[in-house]
Amino acid sequence: MALPANIGRIDALLNPWRPVIGAAFDGYRNHVVRMASYCLLLKPCDAIEQQKIEIAACFHDIGIWTAGTLDYLPPSAAVAREYLGANALEAWSDEIARMIVTHHKLRPATDEASALVELFRKGDLVDLSIGLVKFGLPAAVVNSVKAACPNAGFHRNLCRLELGWFLKHPLNPVPMMKWRGERILSAGLAPRRGGGALKSVDAGACGVGLDAPASKPVLRTPAPAFRTSASTPEVSASALQESLRLPKYRRRYLNRRRRCFLGRWRRKKGRRGASEP
């Protein structure tokens, strides 16, 4: 099956980010191609709408790596805004930012000014659910998209990152999920890196609020394709893995539990062996 997404445009947008995303690049790239294809299969789009969908798809999860957090919606939207500003597409900034910050909304985004916001949410959910949620797409079409663009470990990496986040933030296990679709633009709130409390920012100045007050700025990582310097992004894949490590006290606690379990198991095994004739 020929995928409806413009793979050449997607690759051109994503390839500069390969060093940042690291080993997860192929999985993320294929996820972007699949979800953009699902959007275009769910509703016929003109050339401008297709370009908007593909730009939003390329940047919709990229905050995982640029900001080193699973609370990645505001950082992802901010990177998309920088790309649009650098390519004379500022008029699309608000619409694409809304597509990104609401794509994990659990309820339909029917109150949005642009119909692409809800279409984008559906396309992502079809791929996130591995085709269990289809929104009317035939099963044969979904299977053809998955066969043309393999998973490449995307869901496995997502589960690993989610597990690492949950062990460190059990009270905030899925920070990117939105029930009521809180408007980050109007609320003027940006999540701290690594989770925790929200802090107020000037939403009008930064769109979805990645720039914090001057006293303690949030990490800002421009896209490599339009950086003014040749320096590498501030957060690498190895730094992300390091940020998801358990705290030292938590590792000690789990090691004690493991030793206690092994000790009980060995004593029980010893008693069972002694009771045998």
Instruction: Answer with the residue of higher pLDDT: 14 or 111.
Output: 14
Residue 86 has pLDDT above 60, yes or no: yes
In the predicted structure, residue 260 carries a pLDDT above the cut 80 = yes
Mean pLDDT over the full length of the chain: 76
Give percent of the chain above pLDDT 70. 71
Burial class (CB in 10 A: 0-12, 13-18, 19+), 48: exposed
Proportion of the chain above pLDDT 90, given as a percent: 43
- What confidence tens digit (pLDDT) does each residue in 228-256 have? 333 434 455 555 555 556 677 777 777 78
More confident residue, 165 or 128: 128
Q: What is the pLDDT of residue 108?
A: 84
Confidence of residue 84 (pLDDT cuts 50, 70, 90): very high
Over residues 65-91, mean pLDDT: 92
> pLDDT, tens digit, for every residue of 182-224?
444 333 333 333 343 333 333 333 333 333 333 333 344 444 5
Whether residue 165 has pLDDT greater than 70: yes
Give domain limits for the chain.
Answer: 7-185+222-245, 247-277
Residue 244 sits at φ, ψ, to 5 deg, of: -90, 0
| CA–CA separation, 72 and 60 (whole Å) | 9
pTM: 0.65
